[in-house]
Amino acid sequence: MQISTIVHPSPVGDLLISGNDSFISGIRYADLHPELAEKAVPPDEAPALLRRCASHLDEYFAGWRRTFGLQLQQEGTSFQQTVWQRLLKIPFGQTNTYADLARQIGNKKSSRAVGLANGKNQIAIMIPCHRIIGTSGNLTGYNGGLWRKKWLLDHEKHIAHGVLSLF
């Protein structure tokens, strides 16, 4: 099945939403993937699921949505798939550490591998890799840049505490 991509504006920069009628395969930052942005199609020419995903993201940024019920699918090893599935269980507005995530998937010595799998996630925001922080509580690597990670965590914290985020 052919994958299409649309460009969608957001408070953290234009997002590239990729997928087809069955699943979302990517949510990436357009400034970091200009080669994908060049191939984007107009939203009205894209599968309806991509427009629905854009609406879900708008609701998330407006503070109305905390979970996403869309079918997500990306290629990866079984270990990466396990990490990505575990990321989906981190509650909105909360964080977890690489070490905790490694323990939760049953391999407490795999913190570094968890970090690498986290970094391979191609479905930003909906698979919330931004919710993973260092053991010290510091923000550590994020493919979209630490400023975006901070923005997303602050946004979720404010919403979780009943303060509507204004973007």
Q: Which two tokens stand for residue 5?
A: 């991509």
For every residue of 134-166, DSSP letters joined together read -TTS-----TT-HHHHHHHHHHHHHHHTT----
Domains delineated in the chain = 4-62 (3.30.160), 78-160 (1.10.10.10)
Q: What is the DSSP letter of 68?
A: -
**Residue 53 is among the residues annotated as catalytic for this protein:** no
List, for residues 115-167, the tens digit of each pLDDT value. Answer: 999 999 999 999 999 999 988 888 888 888 899 999 999 999 999 877 554 54
Torsion of CA 86, 25, 17, 149, to 10 degrees: 30
Annotated catalytic residue, options 90, 127, 129, 153: 129
Amino acid 164: pLDDT: 56
> Angle 82-34-129 (CA atoms, 0-180°, nearest 5)?
25
